[in-house]
Structure 1
């Protein structure tokens, strides 16, 4: 699907622009029941900076489905103008953003319309499961499915100090508090037992 760009003033908020665009575009067949804005954490790299999850009711069938509106704000500093770019997609259209969808919205959905929608919902639920596992891992040693480098030391083993801080027993990193990458837990993690942690 294509995207649309909307010229905005400096004072207009991106979320207000996206919500107004979505509400105006639903027409008479669909009704916006619930929505949530979630930052993707990738906007600084030229990708979509946020997504609006929209729980939509088909008035003709009563079914509840999920639409997604990826968005970013492009600023032209020379002329002090801005443009909000919005791309509409659906849970039924293939692999799309699924991080941070509120469970209240997932639980309200009708049966999935196709396999893509079913997979999208499984991915969205798995995201919550992995986030919960990361919270439970605070104070424990974990192995990540990838390595991170700090001060030229590369390792996949960390003690989780908090959701955004690590510590390490590596000789080159002992005593340091390390900044954890955003959403470091999304790829999964393995919690080590006390004995396993002591021998690594």
Structure 2
């Protein structure tokens, strides 16, 4: 085989491998990049949930064929820690005022459309927007102050059953998953003796 043919073969192999990886790495229907649900936390605040179906009707297409069935197993409040987002000092005060992207999300162990999950949990699981985080705090004399940030979510865990047509028969598939609905930021304050050192994660 000539060097030219070998080079063409290698390029084609690389293109095919990249294409395969892209399909595997990101699935618009199942959002597989979101593997882990938010960690559970106690929070009595209702906040301002985003993506409610009353305000944001579903415009994306539902699944075809026999619709899946869902059973909500559990609901809870959860968080995703964003980290320490502002620093100030020594002494004085520290402020955070910055816009971040926020979004709902979901994950399912079997293929289910975002439309069907949204209809089952009562909010648009693909909804995203931005929200400004605003917070300030006085700093102790001689210390450096840090402001940390959580995203808080209403989380619903579910079991799901789907039916897939294959060779004239309906094949039953069972799985589980979760969906999260953003409802607020939560702020944390910590102090250190050095501007090069952050406080520990408040959830540890």
Q: TM-score, normalised by structure 2?
A: 0.24
Question: Relative contact order: is structure 1 or structure 2 higher (C-alpha 8 Å, sep ≥ 6)?
Answer: 2
More helix by percentage: 1
Structure number with greater Rg is 2
Greater share of residues in strand: 2
TM normalised by structure 1 equals 0.24
